Every structure is written in C-alpha cells, then in structure tokens.
Amino acid sequence: MWRMPLEGAPHERTWMAFPREGYTLGASSTQRAAGYEAWTSVAHAVALFEPVTMVVDPSEADRARRMLGSGIEIVEAPLDEFWMRDVGPTFVVDDDRTGVLGAVDWVFNGWGAPDWAEWQLSAAIARLVATHVGAEVVGSGMVNEGGGIHVDGEGTVLLTETVQLDPRRNPQLDRSGVEAEMARTLGARHAVWLSRGLTRDYDEFGTRGHVDIVATFPSPGRLLVHEQPDAGHPDHAVMRDLRKALASETDAAGRALEVIDLPGPATLRDGEGFVDWSYVNHLVVNDGVIACGFGEESADARARSILAEAYPGREVVTVDARELFARGGGVHCITQQQPRVGTTA
C-alpha cells in the first residue's frame, strides 16, 4: 500500500527546477536576474542539509551550472513551468515492500488551465523524475498539485475545496471521489477539508487555494497555521474562520488537532495588492528547516523561533522569499522532497 511520509521523515534528496525565460520569470533583465538568484539561494540553502537535484531546461544549462556550482546535480529536460512542488511527482513509499519508492504522477494543467499558463512540457516532468530515480510510477487521472496537499504520514491529508474540487481541474469528482484517490495514491484514510485558501491566491495568477501557505503538519496531531494579525488584511477574517473550523477537526487516529499559530509579517501590500506572505510555506529537510524570509527582522526571527519549537533538533535557516512570492509561491512551492526508502516515519 502506498503512503506519503511526513515531510519531516528522512529524505534522500530534494528536487527543484531551474527557472527559464518566460512570463513567470519576468520581462526585464532585472526581474529575470532576481528570479534566478532566488531559486539559486534556496538550492544552496537546502544543499547545506541534503543533496539537491535540479531539472534544467537545455536553454538554461550554462547559466544553471555557473550559478549552482558543482555541488548540485543537474538533469536536463525541456520544461516551461518550474514550480517543482506542482509539476514534479509526489513521492510515496510502499510499507508492504521494503525499499520501494513510488512517484505519483498527477495530471498537471497549469492550476486549472488559465489562458496565461504554459504547462505542456512540465506535465511530463513527474515521469522523467520517476525514471531518473527508479521509482514506480503511480498514475492518476486527477488534476492535483503537490502544493495542494499536506499529510501527517499516518493517514491524514489536508485538502482545499477550491483546489481538488475546482471545476477547471476535476469537474467529474466530488469529495468522496477525491478522498478515494487520496487513499489509493497517498494512503490517506482521513481528509481534513479547508473551505478556501488565502486571498491573493485567487488573483488571476494564483492557484485558488493551495494549502501549503495555509497549514502544515510539523508532526502527527499538530498543525502549524498561518495567522494574519492585522484586521486590515482580508486574510485576518479568512484565517479566523479557517482556524475556527479546524478546532473541531480530528486526524486519522481520532486525535483533536493541536493548532499552532504562525503569524505572518507586518507587510500587508505590495504593488499588486494584499500579499499572501506566509511562513507556513517552509521546507523541512534533514536536520533543518528552510524558512521563508520577508525582510522584516523581528517577524522573521519570531517565525524561526516558532519553527524551531515545532521541529525540535533542527536548524532553521531563513532565505529571502519575496522574489518567489512575487512570482506566485515560496520555498515549499519550488521544492519537492524525495523520502529515503526503508524508513518508518
């Protein structure tokens, strides 16, 4: 039976995809340079803790080798979108077959086939990655992205109604259909459904509710949840309502979920509107946590402290994520962990 481990379980490596020129990266040379540097900074931070493999479009191979250096493995393959959490596979393990790694190949359609998105090349990346590591492909007919799910490794999955039930993603599925597919592919026996995501995520270029900027499991039975303290931001009300709903939820083991607030930074707006800056969008790595930073010393430090308590024994490293969020995501969105097979966590 396939099971997606908790993100904090031991990793074999982290996968990423290097940016390539196009709409997402930016129109000006300054914007493009900032994007390349943001992805590179995350890769170097992760590489302090575990191996990193980077999928690189052939058009960017020279730049990637120059910026990444010799310590990061490069796999060349055509791609258009480079949010590895969403275009890459979701890795699973088989508890009945020791040492067997699986790779769920969701259908990727650019977050609901918006007019601006290009995804046809990157839709093939999951199978390419699976082949590279010798993983069994777990095919799925459901449109889904890695940023739209979080698991506790013990049978609980976090989902969002406006993602998995999005008519532009899965018009044929209802809750029971989604839950059945999560059970088959991830080993999820219990789903915690959120009604929606953060406000900015419903703009034209958003994902319409990815959970990985809203809530995550640091360990079974516990949830780190985004908090927007400022009532002037629309997410203050959004998160108040979501937190109220979570207060009555249980996990697959029947435990009430312990909710831990993770306050966002003080900045409310950027040039496009209300921001969705969230410290929930971190990556757990071997012996560490790669946290988003937003240029606010006190808020970033507070987040590091909360994350250090939630992940005892791990070093928390902050990477400036403003250029990532300006393009639609954060540290978690551009990374995908490959679990070490044979572990029990």
Please confirm, yes or no, whether 333 is among the known catalytic residues: yes
DSSP of 278-302, one letter per residue?
-TT--EEETTEEEEEE-S-HHHHHH
Q: Is 77 exposed, middle or buried (0-12, 13-18, 19+ CB in 10 A)?
A: middle
Cβ partners under 8 Å of residue 111, min gap 6:
86, 117, 145, 169, 206, 207, 208
184-203 b/e (C-beta count within 10 Å ≥ 16 → b): ebbbbebbbbbebbbbbbee
Cβ partners under 8 Å of residue 272, min gap 6:
200, 203
Cβ partners under 8 Å of residue 284, min gap 6:
7, 8, 218, 311, 314, 337
| Residue of 333, 334, 336, 337 with catalytic role | 333
The catalytic residues are 333
